[in-house]
Amino acid sequence: MTLYSLRPHQGLAAPALIAAFDGWVDAGGVATTAASFIAQGGDVLAAFDTDALIDYRARRPTLDIEDGVLTEMTWSELNVRRVRAGNRDLLILTGPEPDYRWREFRAALVEISLQLGVVESVCLGAIPATVPHTRPTPVLVTGKDRRPMPTDPPLPAEHMRVPAAAINLIELHLAEHGIPSVGIWAQVPHYVAGLYQAGALALVQRVEAQLGVALSVEALVEAAREERERLDAIVAERPDAREYLAQLEQAEPPQPIPPGTDIAAEAERFLRDWSGERNPFEDPPSDPA
């Protein structure tokens, strides 16, 4: 039984695969917000069988109830959407991170990429870090085919061992099959709850640079500006938060989250009272039961 269905399509121009999954390594919803923003208005080219990949007890469908009557159940989708950017096509894979059958999933991704003629791939992720929201979001880039920029923070030590994410399958496995692949990782202020639009903007802009395309980011720029104003207002009300923010602004480079730090714990407590809304760039689910 195949894990996906591939829909009819015309010839694609230098298609690039862009992927992001929610859950693990998607701090602040940054990666999936960026991917959904790029995919706006795109047509579905490939759809994965979420019944075979998702644990619905961990990621439950949503249920609508009207006047005490159950009316509709909506299921998560894991799709590849096609959008045009300049003279090339972007294929955006996003949705919930698969819970099951990772080896079959990566094999399916290779099949899809080869059938669609994918020439390169970009995987998006986001990790919490001791960075302030008052500074540009630091972005790390992994992979042999990365295009470093002077402003890039230094990569971690030569050898690391960390829990893997399904998004890593794409970067690693497509590269093994001769498709240039990189990972772009936003470092998100660890004290911010809800969506972090500034991080999503940083990822989209780095995707533009990596793929040599221009995207209309005005809506995301405005969302990040409004978010900055809200966070500044929250911090301004608390002297302890201002002190902690000043410490982060002076720290170079970003450090791991300090365990047991009273100021950090207090900052997290009050900032978690502020929460972002649903990703405004994500298409609403369209698979009601």
pLDDT digits (tens, 9 = 90+) for 128-177: 998 999 999 999 998 887 777 777 777 776 777 888 899 999 999 999 99
Q: Which long-range contacts (CB under 8 A, 24 or more apart) does 255-261 make?
A: 255/129, 255/130, 256/129, 256/130, 257/128, 257/129, 257/130, 257/190, 258/130
Q: Please name each of the domains of the chain with its CATH number.
A: 4-271 (3.40.50.10900)
Mean pLDDT lowest among 191-200, 231-240, 254-263: 254-263
Cα–Cα dist 82/144, whole Å: 26
Greatest extent of the chain over all pairs of C-alpha atoms, in Å:
59
Mean pLDDT of 231-255: 84
The DSSP annotation for 65-93 comes to: EETTEEEEEE----EEEEEEETTEEEEEE
Is cis: bond before 253, omega within 30 of 0? yes
Residues 6+ apart with CB under 8 A from 154: 253
